[in-house]
Amino acid sequence: MQADEIDELITLRDRAGVLVAEAYMIVHHPQWHYAKELVDAGEIGTVQQIDTVFSYNNAADTGNIRNRAETGGGGLRDIGVYTLGCARYVMGAEFDAFHHVDLRLENDVDVWASVTGRIADVRYQGVTSMRMALRQSVNIQGDQGVITLTAPFNPGVYSQAEVHVSKGDMTVKTKRFPTANHYVHQLENFQNSVTQGVAYPCPLEFSRGTQSALDRIFEMAK
């Protein structure tokens, strides 16, 4: 479970001439396309900070693969891929640095993690936990406004997908996505890539970037 293993997959993919990709659903959801469009258009000015949180409590499920080191468990590997990957997606960049990593371990897996870093000169703060009440949100703060995604990772399960844009003049613009299903869009996009040659939204190179960030975080935590 390191970035060089994805390099092997990329080599095999290119050699075989087939589509191989991670089932990484959030980049297929229109709420994220909309959030990225807002950032790229300068709707909130220059982005200054991204705050992410994703948590649930599975303490009672001791046999769950997420609670076992030998099966690649831990909150960062399970849901940190979303808190880190969403920042990479919306900024279209890789992490420049990680400044602080704080992990709480149980049975050699991280059950709570706080990570701060910098991406494209934007400050990043992320919290993941497998021991806290269900919660998820992303705030992208610029010098002229804030974009908030209220159900960024499990829309339709956690809550309805909504993107709020708030400005300093106390106005809030909200766009809702009540029927969008990112799992369906993911399958449709995969099919279109295979049958029509349309570029796939989440190639292995993107997955490698998130895994590389995780590798650096775990190395820093030693």
Q: What are 25-76's pLDDT values in tens digits?
A: 999 999 999 999 999 999 999 999 999 999 999 999 999 999 999 899 999 9
Q: With 90 as the cut, is the pLDDT of residue 187 above it?
A: yes
For tokens 């948590």, the residue is 55
pLDDT band at 7 (very low <50, low <70, confident <90, very high): very high
Reported as a pLDDT band with limits 50, 70 and 90, residue 214 is very high
d(Cα 37, Cα 50) in Å, to the nearest integer?
Answer: 16
Query: How many Å apart are CA 138 and CA 153, to the nearest integer?
Result: 9
CA 35 to chain centre: 13
Contacts (Cβ under 8 Å, ≥6 apart) of 32: 26, 86, 89, 90, 149, 152
pLDDT in tens, 129-165: 999 999 999 999 999 999 999 999 999 999 999 999 9
Residue 17 CA to residue 13 CA, distance in Å, equals 6
Nearest CA-CA partner of 111 in 123, 119, 103: 103
pLDDT over 80 at 207, yes or no: yes
Q: Which amino acid is at 79?
A: I
For the chain, percent of residues with pLDDT exceeding 70 = 100
- How sure is the predictor about 222, in pLDDT bands with cuts at 50, 70 and 90? confident
Burial 143-180 (b: 16+ CB within 10 A, else e): eebbbbbbbbbbbbebeebbbbbbeeeeeeeeeebeeb
- On average, the pLDDT of the chain sits at 96
Q: How far apart are CA 187 and CA 207, in angstroms?
A: 17
The answer to which of 7-16, 105-114, 164-173 has the lowest mean pLDDT is 164-173
CA-based R_g, the chain, Å: 18
Q: Which CATH superfamily is domain 3-221 in?
A: Dihydrodipicolinate Reductase; domain 2 (3.30.360.10)
Q: What confidence score (pLDDT) does residue 1 get?
A: 77
The pLDDT value recorded for residue 140 is: 99
pLDDT of residue 20: 96
* Domain map (residue ranges) of the chain: 3-221
Are 72 and 146 within 8 A, CB to CB? no
Which residue(s) pair with 162 in the sheet?
176
Residue 145, both tokens: 């406004």
pTM flag (> 0.85)? yes
Determine the Cα–Cα distance for residues 36 and 117; give it in Å rounded to an integer: 20
Amino acid at residue number 14: D
Residue 60: CB partners within 8 Å, gap ≥ 6? none
Q: Would you state the pLDDT for residue 169?
A: 86
Distance in Å from the first CA to the final CA of the chain: 17
3-state DSSP call for residue 128? strand
Q: What is the pLDDT of residue 168?
A: 82
